[in-house]
Structure 1
Amino acid sequence: MPNTNARSHRGHRGGQEAGRRELVSRSLQSAQHCLKDQDFGTAYAHYLLVLNLAPELKNDVRETFQFTLFSWAEELASLARIQDLFNCYEQALELFPNDEVICNSMGEHLFRMGFRDEAAGYFHKALKLNPDFADAKENFYRVANWLVERWHFIMLNDINRNLIYQKAIEKLVRTGCRSVLDIGAGTGILSMFAKKAGAPCVYACELSKTMYELACDVIAANNMEGKIKLLHMKSLDIEIPKHIPERVSLVVTETVDAGLFGEGIVESLIHAWEHLLLPPKPTNQDIGTEDYGQVIPAGAIVFGMAVECKEIRRHHRYILAPGIAGLHPSPISHIPPCSHRELWLLRGIQGGLKGGYSCFIFLSIILGQELKSLATRQPCKISIPVTHGGVLDAIVIWFVLQLDDEHTLSTSPSEETCWEQAVYPVQGLSDYSVKPGNTVMMEVSCQDCYLRIQKVSVLTSEYGMDVEKGNALTLGNEAELCNALASLQTTSTPDGMKQECVLESTEIALLNNVPYHECFNAAIGKVLTSLTLSRESHSMDVDGHGSEMNFENNQNQNSSHTAYDPFYVLDVSEGFSVLPIIAGKFGQVKAYSSVEKEQHQIVLNIISEASHFPKETLEFWLSHLEDESVVLQRPQSDKLWSIIILDVIETSGLIQQEVMEKAAISRCLLHSGGKIFPQYVVMYGMLVESQSLVLESAVQGTEPTLGFNIAPFINQFKVPVRVFLDLATLPCVLLSKPAELLRLDLMNPYLNSSNREVKVQVCKTGQVTAIPFWYHIHLDEDIHLDTSSDSSHWKQAAVVLDKPIQVQLGDELVLNIQHHKSNVSITVKQ
């Protein structure tokens, strides 16, 4: 008898399968309709249903699903529906766990929202899935600079620094310090020194998630897992016995920056003495080392010098006497930069330093329990006699770190050291010139646990009387160091005419870049003259008469032609820019600026008013837009731009992200005869041998780290491109002449190539370790800017090779240059 139950069951399964196929088909159709209507949320829901019901369709719908996901994610981001956004990506990664494009996109969203550690994880995963994925490479390189700062490589390569720290730690551990706490462990090298020296109990704390995880890997690789207790937290949050069982006898730390106190060592050691360390050794009592607390470093002597330096000056004071391309910025002749000190390697400052002043001791500090009084002590007054005439530009400081009574480390500019020096630019003086016999006065303190230099002035002797020139001005507060952008500060004179606006140092260097403004002034004038002549010619053709005219010389005549609309100029520079005002001074121009920050807008308004421009000459474009993504759109639906100014090169020395995409949009919005500035950019490079670039880019094996295996772990975060370089002071040997590497044409993109090979002739025997590069920014065929010039506000960059290449005079190397979006990669063929 037939098995009717089995037949019925098969029929039921067949019906289910048919129903599944029908539902999948309908959902696919609905998803496609939703995409046409740009209903990305509903389309995404349909695709989720399809992929869960029919996983066999993954390869067929992958690209469309990615597009839907990314479009829906952007919409969710704009609506601030962050949790929904991440839920969508988690669902997508469950379906496509090995999709490098989805991983990379997830990382991009995380990075935008400030989750750098998590973003790095997704970028790293995308690269593991596809090592040639250019977008993930660029993203990972950018985030790696945030997560593992480049000084980690330099310091780990400093064998002298490592050896002295090791000796100091060994000495105290072997004389009785049994328990050690490493504050700000980084890679964990100081903790491993202590463990190797024989400390029974070693604890370490590290706040950065990336560095904490890296240190865990390093400690395990050096067979110390379980022997060092690593805590992912600030030392200020450590509690006894919750995190460590009892007070320790030794704290080791290197949370010092070039200004000594910038990484919070004072605050962390005050807390350690109060809560984590054994009491210090009582005076004149002979007790065992293990019975009292000690700190490495035990103290420091801070030295300083007043200096003259043109390079520091042009980054911190507006120094142009005649004005910017004919403008009149006199009401803002004093524009102080962000109120924080900067780090400079003094040996590498372009033009060098002139020291017309004596070296002096700022502070002598014991890093013991006395620190609390140091942080509350009143400022001490310091006077420095001037021995040579010159200009007072900055106060420079360095220090000698006293690890114990035997071992010291100096950060002096005369030493071969991994440390830089701290520079406090002098601001607010009525006259910066000094003469022999003058005295530089200042107040120094450690208020708020950060080194402060205040109230710098110059005491002169005139007519037998001491006269003080200068203002009471705080030069720097390291507490503000992490604040990348300064808040606006404005002041007015009694008559209400003078204003003071705070700018960044790179923005002041831009104001001081005379060739930059002169070149743009000339190029803008040429375009506007051409457009005016074209308009006049057209008018003559229409009414049968006309006159030849020069744009600049006939502004008044042009203004009388009321039938003419103004020329529209748009500046979409990424940061501060006075180019819209330079365009506006030609008359018959409506200039739009995309600057967003209030302090930038105030500076531009001040210059505009001082130059007697009509108020309607300048508009701040983003204030009219609800969506910044349409910044390149026209001011009115029936108007086109005569000039669009794009910011092509970052001050770091890299090509701006998405600049080619912006250029593509710009070309569609130009008036006939209008121009994009710059019209094209040429990238130049050369072969060099530079050991300093090698040491700044990767840890060189186990020798500098005294046998500890750290390099493979931290070198995961090395990046092939070193940015913010100054080629004029880079320690290197030139092995070739400059060569043209790449041309990016913003007006004629068909001339661009994403891949090209360049032959470079070797002019000197040596080892090629890096390829520095810079740009010539062509506003037109006759006018260009060189980003490597002495006046440039741009820095330069360099590709650092994984392995040096030995070359002989007369050899020829072939460089392969690939350009993808804003990323340029350079590889060498022998």
Structure 2
Amino acid sequence: MPLAQALVKGILSFTEGMPNANTRPKRTRRHRRVQREDAGRNELVSRSLESAQQCLFSQDYGTAFVHYLLALNLAPALKDFAKESFRFTLFKWAEELDSIGRIQDLFDSYEQAMELFPVDEIIINSMGEQLFRMGFRDEAAGHFYKALKLRPDFPEAKENFYRVANWLVERWHFLMLNDHGRNHKYQLAIKKAVEGGCSSVLDIGTGTGILGMCAKMAGAVEVYACELSKTMYELACEVLSSNGMADGIKILHKKSLDMEVPKDIPNRVSLVVTETVDAGLFGEGIIETLIHAWKNLLLPPPNPQQPLSSSAQTGRVIPAGATVYGVAVQCEEIRRHHRLCVSSIGGLDLSMVGQIYSPVCCSADSEDSTEPYTTERLSRLRGGYVQLTQPFSALDIDFNNPQELEGLCSREVQQLRLYVTQDGLLDALAVWFQLHLDEDNHLSTGPQEETCWEQAIYPVQTLFNAVKCGDEILVEVSCKDSYLRLCCIAIIRDGHMFCFDSGTTGPSNILPANPEAALCSALASLQTRHAQPSQAFTLESSEIALLNNTAYHISFRKAMSTLLASLQSARSSQELDPVFVLDVSEGFSVLSLIAAQLGFKPAEDKQTSNRSGLVKAYSSVEKEHHQMILRLLAGANGVPESALEFWLRHVEDDSAVLQRPNTQRLWSAIILDCIETCGLIRQKLLEKASLARCLLEDGGQIFPQRIVIHGMLVESETLLVENAVQGTEPTLGFNIAPFINQFTVPVHMFLDLSTLECTRLSEPAELFTLDLMNSTLNYTEKQVKVQVSTSGKITAIPFWYRIELDSEESVISFSPGSHWKQAAVVLQQPLVVSTGDWVQLSTRLHKSSISINAIKCGGGGGAEGE
């Protein structure tokens, strides 16, 4: 490859002549004696370097790597001169090993490289990237963190660390530690139990170690803790040491299910404390955890027949139990993420594709492995929600009753009838719980509470979801697979049951019904189902929200139509070759099909009504059911099968996804997916755009052409408490903040700015522009002055995008119906401003990482976030 050869030549010119007099070590008596004796070694080093260079020219990276290892191990003094070429060889050899599936050899090569260059931040960061890509997030974070320690201004390591930190230390840790009410109630319950005789304590899923430290401070004689996450385990060890409890609390990097007595702890404990609960209560495996604890780690529970005066020790659990509540809701935001709500998008008729749902499913016939709920903070949902029923109690559980825990999954399915109090569309059941720490201390995760928990959302995925006041919703509650499952199975109206699973009406098995009427209903149902498509597909909730974003698809159709008209007018009437369009969007996308349809259907405007050229569209979707949906849509919309190709069939690896359609032609249009749903710019976007420009024919276009970043100044306490432990006072008297705040991520993602609790201190402003069609118009940093409209403290700068498909058509990522969320840079130090002040924002983009520096003009402080 010409590019690779050029790189090799450049690298080799850098290393040429390395074994010379200038590279000799300092002359000492010992070195003079070694040099006289090692002429053969020097000859071997020289030949190894020469062989490495020859192998690089022939692109034999594995052999070149071995030669470099030999030479640099024999002659460490040459490492500084050979560093660049060695890195290049390592990275190319790693690519080759990865492509043929030799993953262990890949990691072995990196280990050998780091033995040679133990403080090379570039190699260490690259090792972290390989680990993260393979799913080893804890290990990856350690490498990114080490690379940053070696070079704090290393942008690649900084970006990588920020991205992986969201996986390793989830944002709820900060919320939890900032939730003073929650912390205090846990402390009170633990103190009461220890003073009541629980002298030995096990903290399961210790996190930062705060609950174990509460037990030790309350006077517990023996305290143990376990933590599965390597990152959190190491963080907890640092916290314990800082608080003088490293000797008083034994912490294990282990899952509690793997713990044994006396291997891990010497005796059974009298108290287990844990908070291994998620928004759906059981989603983090607390049932399995406590069953194992009662069988293997805890003293037995009190025996009701045993005299109170007995001195036998017993065990207990904090929390002692929980009550689960729920309510049926109407919510457009939930609906558009879990069910296709439109019949057409961008000129495509969707009716023949059947039903499209999200994989979050809790139907009666769903597989046990299916995730039954998602999570949302109801108070922050765009457009709000409407309660269609009164809140109801779904379940009570006693964590101090081992028999009840063991029988939970085999409990008989419970049926509840919810009385509908308001007309509306049944979109979901929203669920929360009250955690009973003991008899006196309780925590609620309800939607009206100020809590670190979100609510569990069970979407209702049925076409028949309209309810009227007076209807009853039949709900089944079960825990057969240790997940709490709430399933809406029917609506009861005027004595008849409308079943959700089949979408048919039929006789109720609870209320008497007319058999003749039931037969007529069943026959009508059969006729209805015969006329409708029978397919049902699942897409990710973000993909469904994208399909429901009609404004985006309409704008794309108009922009593509304009491009096709321009290309047609530029071609001679004899040119009948198709227009080649490539869609490399992430996940499911119908943009390639919209382009293909435009080539076979007269356009809406007069400019393109006489166009006779055809479109050959290529889609990069890989999943079989994605391809099936596109084929069905193509057939239903008059697009011949030959007009749509699935491009990844034509490439051998992901790096070749942007290639020419054939040796003679270039692409007429390349569609790039530029913005992640979370609100960040996609990684390696500029690199993809640079390659895409080289593959366009004259007059061709990248979609979108430009991305304009907008932002504003805000004061938001919410963003602060979700981003770092706040205040200078220790948490419950413990020094925790400095350790967990190391994992603070300046860029906060998945925001809905329309519902964020904040004070807007300025009007929106354009901060930065990325031109994907003309790299000469781009810059690495831009300064913009923004005037303050309201006095306050600037704590964050939310940002969003205007995505310009062409000069006429654009969409805003912060708009009603958008499938994109927003993001915000949270400043390290708030900036106090007054109305009329000017603030200079310096926005930098390194690869896909945005950083913003805020400085008050005319003096004052500054703050920065990335």
Question: So what's the TM-score if we normalise by structure 1?
Answer: 0.91
Q: Amino acid of the residue matched to residue 122 of structure 1?
A: H
Name the residue aligned to 1:501. Answer: 537
1:297-316 aligned at under 5 Å gives the runs 297-316=319-338
Partner residue of 1:227 out of 244, 248, 252: 248
Once the two structures are overlaid, the 10-residue window that deviates more, 283-292 or 205-214, is 283-292
Q: Does 1:468 align with 2:498?
A: yes
For 1:637, which of 663, 681, 695 is the aligned residue? 663
Instruction: Give how far 1:24 is off.
Output: 3.3
- Aligned partner of 2:830 in structure 1 is 804
Amino acid at match of 2:589: S
Aligned partners of 1:392 and 1:83: how far apart in 2? 51
Q: Which among 62, 73, 79 is matched to residue 41 of structure 1? A: 62
Hey, what does 1:795 align to over in structure 2?
821
Contact 2:674 2:681 in 1 (8 A): yes
Correspondence 1:436 to 2:448: no
Residue 159 (structure 1) aligned with residue 180 (structure 2): yes
Q: Distance in 2 between matches of 1:722 and 1:289?
A: 54
Distance 1:17 1:391, change over 3 A: same
Counterpart-to-counterpart distance in 1, 2:722 and 2:229: 20
Matches within 5 A, 1:78-477: 78-283=99-304, 285-287=307-309, 291-321=313-343, 323-339=344-360, 340=371, 341-367=373-399, 368-369=401-402, 370-428=404-462, 430-461=463-494, 465-471=495-501
Return the alpha-carbon distance in structure 2 between the equivalents of residues 318 and 83 of structure 1.
Answer: 43
**In the TM superposition, what are the counterparts of 1:397-796 in structure 2 within 5 Å?**
397-428=431-462, 430-461=463-494, 465-471=495-501, 497-535=533-571, 538-539=572-573, 564-587=576-599, 588-701=614-727, 703=729, 705-796=731-822
Deviation at 1:10, TM superposition (A): 12
Aligned CA distance change for structure 1 residues 292 and 641 (closer, same or farther; 3 Å): same
Q: How many residues align?
A: 775
Return the alpha-carbon distance in structure 2 between the equivalents of residues 50 and 353 of structure 1: 68
Greater shift, 653-662 or 43-52, is seen at 43-52
Question: 3-state DSSP class of the match of 1:448?
Answer: coil
Distance 1:630 1:59, change over 3 A: same
C-alpha contact (below 8 Å) 2:354/2:534 kept by paired residues: no
Q: Deviations over 1:328-374 (max 9, x none)?
A: 11123521101331111011011111112111111122112211112
Superposed displacement of residue 50, structure 1: 2.7
Quick one: distance in 2 between partners of 1:83 and 1:306?
A: 51
The worse-fitting range, judged by mean Cα deviation, of 34-43 and 685-694 is 34-43
Quickly say closer, same or farther: Cα 1:11–1:388, change in 2 above 3 A.
closer
CA RMSD of aligned residues (A): 2.0
Q: Distance in 2 between matches of 1:504 and 1:190?
A: 37
Distance 1:236 1:11, change over 3 A: closer
1:139-190, Cα deviation, whole Å (9 max, x unpaired) = 1111111111111111011010000000000001001111111111111111
What letter is aligned with 2:783? E
- Which moves more between the two structures, 697-706 or 515-524? 697-706
Q: Distance in 2 between matches of 1:815 and 1:105?
A: 32
Change (3 A) 1:744 1:287: farther
1:306 and 1:750 mapped to 2: Cα distance? 54
Q: How has the CA–CA distance of structure 1 residues 24 and 235 changed in structure 2, closer, same or farther, with 3 Å as cutoff?
A: closer
**Normalization by structure 2: what TM-score?**
0.87
Q: Letter of the aligned partner of 2:382 in structure 1?
A: Q
Distance of 2:849 and 2:556 partners within structure 1 = 26
Whether 2:55 is the aligned partner of 1:55: answer: no
1:451–1:11 CA distance, 2 compared to 1 (3 A): closer
Relative to structure 1, the CA distance from residue 401 to residue 11 in structure 2 (aligned partners, 3 Å threshold; closer, same or farther) is closer
State the AA in 1 paired with 2:557.
N
SS at match of 1:501: strand
Which consecutive unaligned segments of at least 5 residues does structure 1 have? 1-8, 474-491, 540-560
Q: C-alpha separation between the residues in 2 aligned to 1:713 and 1:585?
A: 56
Q: Which range is displaced more, 87-96 or 766-775?
A: 87-96
CA distance in 2, matches of 1:653, 1:11: 62
What one-letter code is carried by the residue in structure 2 that aligns with 1:654? L
Distance, in Å, in 1 between the alignment partners of 2:236 and 2:308 is: 38
Deviations 1:257-302 (A, max 9, x none): 1111111111111121222222211226314687211111111111
> Following TM superposition, by how much is the alpha carbon of 1:94 offset from its aligned partner in structure 2, in angstroms?
2.1
Q: Deviations over 1:748-768 (max 9, x none)?
A: 000000122121111111111
* One-letter amino acid of the structure 2 residue matched with residue 172 of structure 1: A
Contact 1:178 1:290 in 2 (8 A): no
Aligned-partner residue type, residue 570 of structure 2: S
Distance in 2 (CA, whole Å) between partners of 1:447 and 1:136 is 44
Moved more, 616-625 or 28-37: 28-37
User: Contact conserved, 1:571 with 1:593, CA < 8 A, in 2?
Assistant: yes
Matching of residues 3-42 of structure 1 within 5 Å = 16=37, 18-42=39-63
Q: Does residue 64 in structure 1 map to residue 76 in structure 2? A: no
Q: What is the Cα deviation at residue 469 of structure 1?
A: 4.1
SS at match of 2:598: coil
Unaligned runs of 5+ in 2: 1-29, 361-370, 504-527, 600-613, 857-866
Instruction: Say if 1:249 and 1:290, in contact at 8 Å, map to a contact too.
Output: no
Residues 356 and 61 (structure 1), Cα distance of their counterparts in 2 relative to 1, 3 Å cut? same
| SS of aligned partner of 1:827 | strand
Q: Secondary structure at the match of 2:438?
A: coil
Return 794-803 or 697-706, whichever deviates more.
697-706
Moved more, 448-457 or 382-391: 448-457
Given residue 396 of structure 2, which amino acid in structure 1 is its aligned partner? S
d(CA) in 2 for partners of 1:641 and 1:581? 16
Matches of 2:375 and 2:83 in 1, distance apart? 49
Q: Name the counterpart of 2:23.
A: none
